[in-house]
Copies of this chain bind each other. A is one copy, B any other.
Amino acid sequence: MSFASLLSHLRQTAALEQTAGLLSWDQEAMMPVKGAAQRAELAGAMAAVIHARNADPRIPEWIAAIDRRALSEFDAANLREAERAYRLATRIPARLAEESAKAASEGHRVWAAARAAKDFQAFAPALKQILALKREEAACLAEGDGPDALYDALLDQFEPGAKTADIGPMLEGMRPRLTALRAAIAEKPAPKAPEGAFASARQLSLAKTVARRIGYDLEAGRIDLVVHPFCSGTGGDVRITTRVDEADPFNCLYSTIHETGHALYAQGAADPFLPAADYCSMAVHESQSRFWENWVGRSRPFAEWLHPVMVEAFGETGLDGPDALYAAANRVETGFIRTEADEAHYNLHVLLRFELERDLISGALEVDALEAEWNARFRRDFGLTPPDAALGALQDVHWSAGLFGYFPTYALGNVYAACLDAAMRTALPGRDEMLRTAETGPILAWLREKIHVRGRALAAPALIEEATGAPPSAAPLLDHLEAKFGALYDL
């Protein structure tokens, strides 16, 4: 009876969270520009309502009356998530939750204008406010007072249970091999890039074809254009967004495959309204998007299927066969923008942000010094200095939306994707042939069974271990990158 009341409460809260998610999707994809200030009020009102529900005083009463021994693994996870949400909500005052939501909504608007003007100082006051609220929030949530306590508290919101002391060394331990790989590639000539006319409508049509081909159900989703692509929703309504660069057919294509990877996870949820069926962690979410983008979409066998499809879409592409397509889709170029980075550079971009945001949260770095510090550390890792803030500290949406502790999940997602890939090679011996024909149904089925329907039954490291037979490690990712680019660049 208590458990039924709790579940009913959780389901309705999930419906309100999906509503708030739709507000965000709409803000990016549909909202007229003059609606922004008003929208901040809507977002704030929804955050307050959701916060009040998560802090409902009946929750601990229901929980106390539940016989835990009678619960299935799935219901035990629902209970654990309910306890977690209650703990998070009761430690953050309603006033702070509402202010944070408003600051994020307004901050996003200010950031977009500052980025267009390439003017970091125009964004700095908004970022200071967001950061102050985040530090206040972290202090409410922190366990203990160690050097990573504040950052751990924020990280936990995206990667439940993860600790900086664990993931920091694993991620930062990748830097030597990553910078060595980058330096080795930089001395070699780049393969041929695509050449031709890549009209926007044809790129979108191709992206839709590929998304549908690898399993995205467009009757339960849609694709729209935005500045910074994302995926939102769950169950029967999972929407992705993308962008088009008419000079580069790979931008839209791989951005779409990436978001489709997220969408496949969300469409595979066992129940759209129960927390135990929600995605396991952001890193596990990212493992799905990266797997489809890089281990499927940018693989040599998939190029067999993709090459004729691209020729049909665009006519001449300048790439005379699958080998040329594979090489072009994996061209390595040192660039400034994370979301456009190749596999060889991507994790270095993430490590930079991981470092910087830990320093912002700990107080070791001031917002006024962020642009200069970004540029200096970028030079250290990439050998280049960003020419303006739009190519530097203003390029990502995350901090403007109050997302601190989110960046490391991107690199962790690549680590998990590589672990899953290695296990899948054993589990599905015919996988290369599936990729050559883009008959990827068994691959999706394997991910559905091992990851998607498992929801939050286990924490991320345990889920990866259950799926692969070994605890997560960075080795498969580094091995994959060195093998792939070693062969492509004759290192």
Nearest CB on B from A368, distance (A): 32
Please name all residues of chain B whose beta carbon is closer than 8 Å to the beta carbon of A39 when the two chains form the complex: 237
Given A22-B26, A38-B272, A236-B32, A45-B15 contact (CB < 8 Å): yes
Give Cα A15 to B42, complex, Å.
Answer: 5
Assembly stoichiometry (copies): 2
A251 within 8 A of B: no
At the interface, yes or no: A30 with Cβ under 8 Å from chain B? yes
Contact of B34 with A23 in the complex, beta carbons under 8 Å: no
B16 touches A45 (CB 8 A): yes
Residues of B within 8 A of A233 (CB): 35
Contact: A237 with B32, CB < 8 Å? yes
Decide yes or no whether A247 CB sits under 8 A from chain B. Answer: no
Docked-complex contact B48 and A237, CB < 8 angstroms: no
Give the interface SS of chain A, mostly helix, strand, loop or mixed. Answer: helix
Q: Which of A30-71 contact B (CB under 8 A)?
A: 30-39, 41-42, 44-46, 48-49
The answer on a CB contact under 8 Å between B44 and A15 is: yes
For A362, the chain B residues whose CB sits under 8 A away are: none
* A475 interfacial contact with B, CB 8 Å: no
Contact partners of A272 in chain B: CB under 8 A:
38
Asked if A34 and B237 make an inter-chain contact with CB atoms under 8 angstroms apart, the answer reads yes
- Comparing A173-181, A219-227, A413-421, the segment that makes contact with chain B is A219-227
Interface assignment of A367: CB less than 8 Å from any CB of chain B = no
What are the residues of chain B within 8 A of A46 when measuring CB–CB? Answer: 15-16, 19
User: In the assembled complex, which residues on chain B have CB atoms less than 8 Å from the CB atom of A23?
Assistant: 19, 22
**A368 CA to B20 CA in the complex, in Å?**
40
Residues of chain B within 8 A of A93, CB atoms compared? none
Verify if A273 is at the interface (C-beta below 8 Å from B): yes
Q: How far is the CB of A105 from chain B (nearest CB, A)?
A: 12
Further 9 A-B residue pairs, CB within 8 A, beyond A16-B46, A18-B38, A39-B237? A15-B44, A15-B46, A16-B45, A22-B22, A30-B222, A34-B220, A34-B237, A35-B233, A38-B237
Could you tell me which A residues sit within 8 Å of B by CB distance?
11-12, 15-16, 18-19, 22-23, 26, 30-39, 41-42, 44-46, 48-49, 217-222, 233, 235-237, 239, 272-273
17 pairs, A vs B, C-beta closer than 8 Å? A12-B45, A15-B46, A16-B42, A16-B45, A22-B23, A22-B42, A30-B30, A30-B222, A32-B221, A32-B236, A32-B237, A34-B217, A35-B220, A35-B235, A35-B236, A39-B237, A49-B49
